[in-house]
Every structure is written in C-alpha cells, then in structure tokens.
C-alpha cells in the first residue's frame, strides 16, 4: 500500500545564512516558502537574485552579531 505524501508550503520570512570566505553572513527577513514538515526553504528566482546582489555589492550591514563557535571533535563524548 502506497502512502500519499502531502507537502505543505507556507509563506514565511526567514534568515538566510551563507558561509563565504571564512565569514558567516546573515540576511534577515527573506521571503521564502517553507515546508512545514521538513523545514526546507524555497526561494523565488527574484529573491535569489536579490540575495546575490546584496552579497556581491557588499552593502553596509544593518548590524553585527557575535556567535559562539564550538568544535565538535573537541567536545566531550
């Protein structure tokens, strides 16, 4: 018996994370369609283009955040 898979996508504002040249870049309030079951995010072509331009143009950030970094191989078992 085959199980029918029903995908539910909802429109949300998400934070896009990019690792570039050893830096973590965050872009907040990005429109995306998000799969409610898996959390997978889908972006429209125009949104992807705008994300690329924001990063390539090296616009002045709105603000900076500090994040802790842990090394998994150094953590206790």
Domain count, the chain: 1
Range of the domain at 22: 9-46
Q: Would the pLDDT of 32 be above 60?
A: yes
In this predicted structure, what is the pLDDT of residue 2?
58
pLDDT exceeds cutoff 70 at 3:
no
Residue 26 in domain: yes
- Predicted confidence (pLDDT) per residue in 36-57, tens digit: 999 999 999 999 999 999 888 8
- Asked whether residue 32 is assigned to any structural domain, the reply reads yes
- The model scores a pTM over 0.85: no
User: Would you say 32 and 14 are in contact if contact means Cβ atoms under 8 Å apart?
Assistant: yes
Looking at the domain assignment, is residue 38 inside a domain?
A: yes
Q: Is residue 12 helix, strand or coil?
A: strand
21 inside domain: yes
């Amino acid at each position: 018996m085959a199980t029918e898979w029903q995908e539910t996508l909802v429109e949300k504002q998400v934070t896009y994370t990019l690792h570039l040249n050893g830096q973590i870049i965050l872009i907040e309030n990005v429109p995306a369609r998000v799969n409610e079951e898996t959390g997978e995010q889908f972006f429209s072509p125009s949104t992807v283009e705008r994300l690329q331009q924001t990063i390539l143009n090296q616009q002045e950030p709105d603000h900076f955040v500090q994040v802790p970094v842990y090394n998994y191989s150094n953590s206790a078992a």
